């Protein structure tokens, strides 16, 4: 595979790809943290657009959990490994000894960073095309039965003898016609996850879906 080619995109500025595949443990090299920040936003927008097209009749409450699953760290880690990013990562000696290329968080971050690099190298359309190419099957395979993640999480916790989770509004921004909410859900045992949405209810559903994924209750 060419050093300038990744995820179906050929880089005109290969330095972006090199940076995207460089973990912060590789001292002395520009790492991928800033690109990861950008790629996370690119992925969220591209997946939202794809979901609207695939499910034109779905409500926001039905779309939010699918979105949360598609962009979850667990999903990204699996996809990153399948796409061969593990073999291309630049890691520091410590992470190499600890088999860092197999760690889900490092794999997930690298995939987001590559998306950020593609956006900077080729623009929105290039990044959008890559997401559609590699996430189409992921999105269409999302469990349709998880229509109400909050209820599913509540039922699971009660089955484990645990009290109901709590939802905290972490962030609220945007103008009145385009509000953006970030909610954190926390269980009595300390498990937690974040969710985002255009309403507090949608953000709570997304947070519940994310936590269900983290707990391994839904794939």
Q: Which of 40, 109, 121, 196 is catalytic?
A: 40
Calpha distance 87→90 (Å, rounded): 9
| 189 close to 129: Cβ distance less than 8 angstroms | no
Instruction: Please state whether beta strands 5-6 and 166-173 pair in parallel, antiparallel, or not at all (unpaired).
Output: unpaired
For the four alpha carbons of 124, 128, 130 and 135, in that order, the dihedral sign comes to positive
**Token reading at 50:** 């794809």
Q: Which of 95, 109, 112, 121 is catalytic?
A: 112
Calpha distance 89→83 (Å, rounded): 12
Supply φ then ψ for residue 193, to 5 degrees.
-160, 160
Calpha distance 39→58 (Å, rounded): 26
Based on the residue annotation, tell me whether 40 is a catalytic residue of this protein. yes
Calpha distance 78→98 (Å, rounded): 19
Strand order in the sheet with 192-197: 166-173, 180-186, 192-197
| Plot region of 146 (φ>0 → left; ψ -120 to 50 → alpha; else → beta) | beta
Based on the residue annotation, tell me whether 192 is a catalytic residue of this protein. no
Catalytic residues: 40, 112
């Amino acid at each position: 595979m060419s050093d300038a080619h990744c995820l179906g995109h050929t880089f005109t500025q290969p330095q972006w790809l090199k940076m995207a595949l460089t973990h912060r443990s590789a001292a002395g090299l520009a790492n991928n943290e800033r690109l990861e920040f950008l790629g996370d936003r690119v992925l969220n927008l591209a997946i939202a657009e794809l979901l609207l097209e695939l499910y034109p009749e779905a409500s926001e409450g039905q779309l939010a959990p699918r979105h949360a699953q598609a962009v979850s760290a667990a999903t990204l880690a699996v996809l990153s490994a399948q796409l061969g990013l593990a073999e291309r990562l630049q890691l520091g000696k410590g992470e190499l000894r600890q088999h860092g290329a197999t760690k889900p968080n490092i794999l997930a971050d690298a995939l987001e960073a590559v998306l950020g690099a593609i956006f900077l190298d080729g623009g929105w359309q290039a990044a959008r095309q890559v997401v559609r190419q590699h996430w189409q099957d992921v999105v269409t395979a999302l469990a349709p039965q998880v229509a109400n993640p909050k209820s599913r999480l509540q039922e699971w916790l009660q089955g484990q003898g645990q009290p109901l989770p709590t939802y905290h509004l972490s962030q609220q921004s945007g103008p009145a016609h385009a509000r953006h909410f970030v909610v954190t859900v926390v269980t009595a045992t300390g498990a937690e996850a974040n969710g985002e949405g255009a309403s507090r209810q949608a953000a709570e559903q997304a947070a519940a879906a994310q936590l269900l994924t983290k707990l391994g209750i839904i794939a």
